[in-house]
Chains A and B, each alone.
Chain A
Amino acid sequence: MAKYKMHILVCGGTGCKASNSGGIAKRFEEVLKERGLEDVQVITTGCFGFCEKGPIVKILPDNTFYVEVKESDVETIIEEHIVKGRKVTKLLFTDPKSEKHIEDSKHMGFYKKQMRIALRNCGFIDPENIDEAIARDAYAALGQVLNHMTPESTIEEVKKSGLRGRGGGGFPTGLKWFFASKNKADQKYVVCNADEGDPGAFMDRSILEGDPHSVLEAMAICGYCIGADKGLIYIRAEYPLAIERLKIAIKQAREYGLLGSDIMGSGFNFDIELRYGAGAFVCGEETALIHSMEGERGEPTVKPPFPAEKGYMGKPTNVNNVETFANIPPIILKGAEWFSSIGTEKSKGTKVFALAGKVNNVGLIEVPMGITLREVIFEIGGGIKGGKAFKAVQTGGPSGGCLTAKHLDTPIDYDNLIAAGSMMGSGGMIVMDEDNCMVSIAKFYLDFTVEESCGKCTPCRVGNKRLYELLDKITKGKGTMEDIDQLKNLANVIKDTALCGLGQTAPNPVLSTIDNFYDEYVAHVKDKKCPSGECKALLNYVINPDKCIGCTACARVCPVGAITGTVKKPHVIDQSKCIKCGACMEKCKFNAISKM
């Protein structure tokens, strides 16, 4: 049935296209035609994510991976590889460490840039079929723990793995379990925090939708370790599919006896219930989450007491995030040593990021800790959209900060991100290009925090509102240099005095943009200009009288009648009427209108 015996895949990603992959593909087709090779097909693909070494050409079925291919190489590849079956060595990727050529893409270091532990089954199994999960070793870790390990030795294993909370705080998971296990009580609880609320972050949802059993299994393991027989998943009601899949998973696990009483004949009992959140960002904070589950107003309380002492219903409670739990079964099965071999000194394993913004390949990626921002943005993410210049990347959602080009080669881990003025957060990663105004970015995040503040403590309730107002003033060109000082002082005080993590980290986007883009703030204040052109209030559309021929097209399209002038004479825009919609500029055929 196969019409083609070989395929030549030419990368059609933005990066490779820019270095003439289109011409290469065309040349391949020409040469094949010349030589009458009809059983070879040329196909343009999506980005291979290895833009640094583009253009990329891959030959199937033998998976040969050629890098930095030029149009002039096409004949050689066809002559040598397609016709004679010999690989073109000079075009193969050279491993910078071993200096050896690597023929097969599967063995290239690049492909190890993404490593899926938490997402191991996402996109692989049918999440509504427990059999497929079991085929991929779901519940094997639970079985091993129940049969061959004590709670103490299991906690020890998790401690040794170096796993830290993936919800943002980065607290060592094993230590958290240890504290909960030490507190004696007639009833304890394991809580899974599935109240994912960072704008743009959706890894928890993906895990619950793609591999719900990994979380159920890990919660049972945690229950065994801390002495709890009840698990609760606090999930936002806006995740209906995740809820549905969890319900199915819980039902199937119960039917198999993998949840319930006497699990796998061990005498251990554990069951899980769902609790729905109404989507308040602050309910991701564990004390607020617990209050919400209890039916109280979802707002944080002072720690101590920590949930490990007094949590849900006043009982010792261990709260972990979805992604944290999803890491547990592989740690048990493959061992702490394996897990701790991945990552950096203090941050082990992988982290899932939701890559978004002005990057070509937005999506969910899982990378080992210690990878650099450059690798993530330019290799996995395929670089900046439209070939624009990279400006900053925002990590950690509204609690994080903006990192700049100088941080591109910083290995990503908990401590480095904090040192650079941002944080890991739950894994949002938003890439910004030259068109993004950093003051507006800070304002965007503050807008979110102001909306999501629970309103309990003064710094967060009033302080963040004032931060927002100051930023708004600056983006409208009404700010003063004193306002920038006030912003800094207020941001630092909020950081220092707010009650919970949400409030304490809310000023981070402001502080990091002031630190890294101070000139941009000053431009808004002193020159009343927005260098990126994003702040509309600071933007003027002007007509260049030298270029304007008086065709009246702009005047006709202006929705507010701000453009006047007589036919065949240069027109003028009345700035007091202009609403900066940009319609005139789009309409002008003579490039006579520009943004100032």
Chain B
Amino acid sequence: MLEVIEAILFSTLDYAPALIFASLGAVLCERSGIVNIGVEGMMRSGAFAAAVAALIVPTGVAVSAGMLAGAGLAAIHAYLSIRWRSDQVVSGMAINLVALAGITFLLESRYSPTGTPPIAQLQRWNLAGVEAIPILRVLSGHSAITYLAVVVALAFHVVLFRTPVGLRLRAVGEKPTAAATLGISVARLRYASVIGSGLLAGLGGAALSTSTLDRFEQHMPAGLGFIALAAMVFGRWTPLGAFGAAAFFAGGNALRIGLASSAPRVLQIVPQGFLLALPYLLTLLVLTAQGTKSRAPAALGVPYEPESR
């Protein structure tokens, strides 16, 4: 029994970073007032770029290529929605479609239809102190990305709620006109957050192809970008909330996979489809319960026009 629990916790820690980074990226973007449903596409490009780069350079360096790819798509999203005040949902959806089909095309023309060749996986760290302690030993043996996810979430929380930059960012997402009267450049902050969210989503994608697995597979990220959005909503648009929700969803997924292999009889009573639907259902219920008291940034999705009041 202990081994089963440990195995589930271990695979949660392996799988969660992708979701955590993507949902942190979504929080960053939406806190500045820009809707980002392109997370899925940014993750996909990040996963692909990191895997391709890792064929040439060391995997640790390749991860940054994934981040840049995510940021590149995010820059397009930012340009369209900030400079040209395009509909942010449309532009995000367009990014998803382009990433879906474009990477299929690249994958097919360069490698094989199913995925890239295997790469050197990110090195796993062994924490010497905890290896003998039951339960706690699951903390050991993950790649740096897992530990980085915790650090980034905490740092993001501190920056957002304890620093002047964070205050400005929140102001821009809540009431951009008020922020602008204080001399804050709404556009510049929004550009920075959208591109930053692309970096994070790209990192999440890279985590999938370099840390969770050892190659890019055609179906990646298989809807994880949308679960990241659910985690963002579930975590009420806060970094720690999104972190917790992402970890919770990842744990649920590991539990489902664990049940399928160790206790298939449970899945005859509760079908897998129900468990797969659960994160989305919970998010929907939370949203319904919050109702109009939802914590979404007030200016979310509203293009900022300096001359309007």
A and B bound? no
